[in-house]
Amino acid sequence: MTTTEFQDPQFGTILRFAMRARQANMFIVLVLALFVGLAFGAIMIIVTQPTLLTSWSHFFHHPGGTIASSFNTVWFAYEQLFQGAVVNFHALRMLIDDPSKANLGIVLGPLSATLTYATPLIVAGLGLAIGFRSSLFNIGGQGQVILGGVLALLVGFSFHMTPVLQVALEMLAAMAGGALLAGFAGVLKAYTGAHEVIVTMMSNYTMIAVLGYLLIQPLFARPGVLDGASKAVGVTGQLPYFFSRINSSLLLNFGFVIALVAVFGVQWFFDRSKTGFELLMVGQNPDAARVAGINSRRSIIICLAFAGCLLGLAGMLELTGVDHFVTPNFGGSYGFDAITVALLGRNKPWGVFFAAIFFGAMFSGGEAMQAFTPTNIQFSLADVIQAVVVFCVATPALLVEVFHLRGGARLVSNNNTGGWV
Amino acid sequence: MSTASREIVTLNNLRVVSRTRSLAYGITLMGMGLLEIVWYGSTDSKLHTVIQFGYNTATVWPVVSSIWKFILVFAGVGIIAAVVRVRAFPRLARIFATVRGTRTIALLIGAYLLIWPVLLWLGINHGGQLRTMSVDVAYTGYLFGCASIIVGGLTAWKRFDRSSSGILYGGLLVFLLGFLIWVARGSLDLQLTSILASAVAASTFLMFGSLSGTLCERSGVVNIAIEGQFMAGALSSIVFASAFHGTGISMTFALLFAGLFGAFFGWILAVMALRYQANQIIVGVVIVAFCTAMTQFLTTQVLDIHQNLDGSYGLPVWAIPGLSHIPLIGPILFDQNVLVFIGFAAVIIANFALFRTRWGLRVRSVGEKPIASETVGINVVHVRYGAVILGGFIAGVGGAGFTLGPGSPFTFGMTAGYGYIALAIMIFGRWRPYGALMASLLFGFTIALSANLNLYLTQLVIPQQFITALPYLITIAVVSGLVGRIRPPAADGVPFQRH
């Protein structure tokens, strides 16, 4: 692909920019994916609103009114989505008029919620990205998050040490738990050829059952009540909040720093460490790796155990940062969201970081959308938009073809799935 | 044996591996038997389990006069004798030779007629009442425990190959039966026929799902989106049926509609995997994520408000006229909702299509060696498109089994990972429709067991959660090589590029 034609003087500036914009790169693909996702979400909003559907039935009678009312509804929903996720402009204005602590808390609210939700997702997404990079599909995020959370909880309520020591111990316990569960799948994969997708998937459901069992045991259950909630982590085991002085509802905590450290750590692991290089090599060309003398069994187990380590850590961050106790649906959709986060971030550490923040934004924005839109557009619409965005980003070839992007072949990596054994 | 030498598949290595495997299985079975003896044998010897054999009195013939019994038994003996002594009758041999499988079917019919009075006696007694059997729990423990130990010893004795897997499954079945009797000890009746019938009903969607996986993977495309196709089929079918108030014709179209939705997602998978050569597992996972989000959104946004769109309309239950009157087997296999029969038919048709037709040969060759198929003039991409879209259709119809089968409204998350279990079943059945059928019946049994054991929860020592986790644990055991050496289609999951 030569760029000489764009330097041709007969191309005007605007035209040249347009041609540049059609060059396929990840940024353009991301923007287009977001556009497609929002467009699909808009269609879903219009289709599921009875009043809008009636107005569309009178489309030829009143085309302008129909389009205007649809546009208004969609725009209002997306406005709430944005204001709930990033910043509320009315609150900002109030802060400028009256710079008080209370107003500052309201302004920081959406961003804090976004980052709080993103914190475990960053770590979990990093864990899955490690697996994806060496072509291992660890679908068992949920189970590993649960086990990590449960072990961290065990440490959290049984000890009362100095905060730093206890948090460190919780982290260790959670990471060991996640690594054990994922490493088990790795051992099965390495020695019997069991496909990790099915083993980890099944370990999810098993862990959900185990969690349900543990929560009615006297060791974990809240004394006196069997409502399915566990004892709470002791005060010394909780992660400190950043903005608790401004407003106690701002839940952004020290876990975000741990997540940032994890991002740097994983980047170092892939770019600088020998093991990371081996994993990458096994993922990209198993035959070449074997010829080069890399023990594929060892790297499979290490890779999955490391991934599980991070997922367990995600469970610990969720537990000690936000909830402080475990309910039967602990870990919720983190496992699956983390898969899509890793795909959206193209398995690169910083990509995962921003993808997780995008997911956090969609989550907190979605809740605001559900609360403030007149017909209560459900926040699972945000999930739908996310799914479409991830679909477009994970398979860029589609966007490259539909929008006639140039030079898309670079983006499309040829991946062998490689069967089940 | 060193680790390095195990990588190479030699006859000697295979022997060592299969020897180790059979030893491991045998010792496990013997341990289970010992556990059964110690555990069940020590239960209070006064405890009994009442097993109810009859299931649905309306469909069971009340009493058959004794002369008919004798005639039928003689007929059975005659048929079996004819089959066994077939060489003595050259004319019969020729008839048997022309139609494949006639001999097997004749043997089955003859054997059935022979044991038919016994089964009838098991099902109902002279007064037309349901026959029950009272089993002593302690003795059952000793009996089944000893049986498990003997089977374990047999398994450990010889090398593990295809012939010994039958023994292994027999031992597991014996253990499970003993377990069932032990669990249901006490006052409640163990409704064996009812549990088995619900097992067949529970295996419906697994049947469809594993068939879909088999079709797709035989053509070389990994369809991990079965879970998503289940969701799409379940939601669309119940909405369609509810919109037309569940009339007969609307049920038919609801099934078709569910299939079309599944086929749509199959088509998306096919386009991504075949046209753009994306990673098939990633595409599948993303399709599942999309279907999860969409079903959640539509459930909360539309169905919760318009509840008339999410009614409970069940498919009709057909009692096949002659067959459903057969005691024990009739109510289990031939007194089910229509989808079960469609599932049986689909398995038989798929087996015929895959292994007896030109299309099936092409599908299989495309999944094994696409370049060779291309060389002889088969359009690899077209064949794969067809197989994946058809697989999606089948999975979509199977999804209707979640809602229309038992006649329950759609709830978010009702597919509960059965789409992934269907893939494990496909592996268990070694990528063959009949294998998939048998494996899904087995899994259906564990699912029905875990659902039915809640009835006996009051006496249950094992926590309910562990029994819920049983199908999932079995799946892990299955994919990690309990079924022996498995060999997927050679080009499974490998994108095809024309050279």
Tokens 């741990």 identify what position?
A258
- The whole-angstrom separation of Cα A120 and Cα B267 is 35
Does residue A130 have a pLDDT over 80? Answer: yes
Q: What are phi and psi of A159, to 5 degrees?
A: -110, 155
Q: What is the dihedral of CA B370, B375, B376, B381, to 10 degrees?
A: 40
Please give the span between the terminal C-alpha atoms of chain A, in angstroms, as a whole number.
Answer: 39
B127's CB contacts (< 8 A; 6+ apart) are none
Cα–Cα distance for residue pair B162/B435, rounded to 1 Å: 14
List pLDDT tens digits, range A289-319.
888 888 888 888 999 999 999 999 999 998 8
Which of the 8 DSSP states describes residue B191? E
With contacts defined as CB-CB under 8 Å, which chain B residues touch A210?
A: 465, 469
Q: How many whole angstroms from its chain centre is CA A377?
A: 22
Residue type at A245 in one-letter notation: R
Of B277, B283, B289, the CB nearest to A414: B277
pLDDT tens, position by position, B345-393? 999 999 999 998 999 999 999 999 999 999 999 999 999 999 999 999 9
- Are A253 and A321 a contacting pair, CB within 8 Å? yes
Contact A154, A326 (CB under 8 A): no
Opening angle at CA B117, ends B114 and B118, nearest 5: 90
Q: What gap in Å lies between CA A103 and CA A243, rounded to an integer?
A: 13
Angle, helix A141-158 to helix A101-133, in steps of 10 degrees: 120
* CB atoms closer than 10 angstroms to residue B422: 29
Of B278, B465, B486, the CB nearest to A395: B278
* Residue B376: how many other CB atoms lie within 10 Å: 8
- Residue B289 and residue B224 in contact, taking contact as beta carbons nearer than 8 Å: no
| Torsion region of A376: left, alpha or beta (phi above 0 gives left; psi -120 to 50 gives alpha) | left
Disruptive mutation site among A401, A420, A421 for chain B (greatest number of B CBs within 10 Å): A420
Q: Does residue B454 surpass a pLDDT of 70?
A: no
Reading the block at residue A301, the tokens are 């187990």
Cα–Cα distances in Å, from A35 out to A30, A39, A346, A389? 9, 6, 18, 8
> Which residues pair with residue B130 across a beta bridge?
B124
Angstrom distance (rounded) from CA A408 to CA B111: 66
pLDDT digits (tens, 9 = 90+) for A79-100: 888 888 888 888 888 888 888 8
CB atoms within 10 A of CB B402: 25
The interface predicted TM-score (ipTM) is: 0.85
Are the CB atoms for A356 and A343 separated by under 8 Å? Answer: no
DSSP B374-393: HHTT--HHHHHHHHHHHHHH
Residue B85's CB is within 10 A of a number of other CB atoms, namely 10
Q: Provide, rounded to the nearest whole percent, the portion of chain A with pLDDT above 90.
A: 19
Radius of gyration of chain B (CA): 25
Looking at the predicted structure, is the pLDDT value of residue A122 above 70? yes
Handedness of CA B227, B229, B234, B236 (dihedral sign): positive
Residue pair B229/B265 in contact (Cβ under 8 Å)? The answer is: yes
pLDDT tens profile B230-273: 999 999 999 999 988 888 888 889 999 999 999 999 999 999 88
Q: Which two tokens stand for residue A65?
A: 């009114």
Structure tokens at B130: 């349901």
> SS3 for B130?
strand
In A, which residues are within 8 Å of B460 by CB distance? none
Residue B346, token pair as written in the block: 């689909």
- Please name the member of B289, B292, B465 whose beta carbon is closest to the beta carbon of A212: B465
Is it the case that residue B80 has pLDDT exceeding 60? yes
- The whole-angstrom separation of Cα B406 and Cα B201 is 8
- Structure token digits, residue A213: 């069992």
Report the DSSP pairing between strands B132-136 and B189-191. Answer: unpaired
On whether the CB atoms of residues B462 and B340 are closer than 8 A, the answer is no
A387:B278 CB<8 A? no
CA distance B156 to B165: 12
pLDDT tens-digit map of A208-260: 888 888 887 778 877 776 677 788 888 887 888 888 777 777 888 888 999 99
CA angle at A138 for the pair A134 and A142, rounded to the nearest 5°: 150
Q: How many CB pairs under 8 A join A and B?
A: 169
Q: How far, in Å, CA of B153 to CA of B100, rounded?
A: 37
Interface check B495 vs A, CB under 8 A: yes
Sign of the CA dihedral with B365 first, then B368, B374, and B375 last = negative
- Could you give the CA distance from residue A81 to residue B68 in angstroms, rounded to a whole number? 76
Interchain CB distance below 8 Å, B281 and A197: yes
H or E stretch covering B86: none
pLDDT at B5: 41
The confidence score (pLDDT) of residue B267 equals 95
CATH architecture of B199-482: Orthogonal Bundle (1.10)
- Name the residue ranges covered by the structural domains of chain B: 3-55+130-187, 64-123, 199-482
Q: Which residues from chain A sit within 8 angstroms of residue B17, using beta carbons? A: none
Contact residues for A125 (Cβ-Cβ < 8 A; gap 6+): A338, A341, A342, A345, A352, A355, A356
- CA distance to partner chain A, nearest, from residue B398 (Å): 20
pLDDT recorded at residue B1: 32
